[in-house]
Amino acid sequence: MVIQSRIISSDDLSNPPLKPPLPDSAELRERYETVRSINSFAFGLGLQRADAIKALKNAGIDIYEEIARAWQKGTSVRELSRCHGVGRDTISRWIRRTGRAVPIANSRKRYDEQVVVNVYQETRSCNRAAKAAHVAWRTAKMVLVRHGLWADE
């Protein structure tokens, strides 16, 4: 077996291979509508993901807005991540880039903050507010701090 080695010259570094020519905007939109995945779209055109996003933007499709709209309609970040072939953090970052707030993964509130606030304002007792909302005293205190009703010393 003969292994051939190639010496890289400075000409090779200064003249990188050319990118494949992109189809027109209508065809780009059609291709994206067919695959509905940024990674599949990029791979099909032989592009890096960032270049594919730019190509879609030039074709009139804002991928960040598309993903954010799908998320607002109820598609989970995890589903979007699987569909587009990128991480959940990337999907969340893309959604935040559109100006929307994405809650952290385990931020489901299992209690009503307003109950804590109302009971505290009536009784001035964090303990009673915690019992009324069925939460720990510390949780009630954090709610009150967030609402500016409790000053931490």
Question: pLDDT per residue over 132-150, tens digit each?
Answer: 999 999 999 999 998 999 8
Answer whether residue 15 is part of any domain: no
Q: How many domains does the chain have?
A: 3
Is 68 found in the same domain as 47? no
Answer whether residue 40 is part of any domain: yes
Res. 118 pLDDT band, cuts 50 70 90: very high
Is 57 found in the same domain as 71? no
What is the per-residue pLDDT for 151?
83
> Once rounded to an integer, what is the mean pLDDT over residues 49-66?
94
What is the per-residue pLDDT for 101?
85
Answer whether residue 79 is part of any domain: yes
CA–CA dist 62, 52 (Å, integer): 11
> Once rounded to an integer, what is the mean pLDDT over residues 57-65?
94
- pTM given for the model: 0.60
Answer whether residue 85 is part of any domain: yes
User: What is the domain range of residue 52?
Assistant: 25-61
Residues 16-33: b if buried by 16+ CB within 10 A, e if exposed: eeeeeebeeeeebeebbe
Say what percent of the chain tops pLDDT 90.
67
What is the per-residue pLDDT for 12?
62
Is 73 found in the same domain as 43? no
Indicate whether 8 pLDDT > 90.
no
Indicate whether 69 pLDDT > 80.
yes
Is 68 found in the same domain as 57? no
Indicate whether 102 pLDDT > 80.
yes
Query: DSSP of 76-100, one letter per residue?
Result: -HHHHHHHHTS-HHHHHHHHHHTT-
Tokens read off for 54: 């730019």
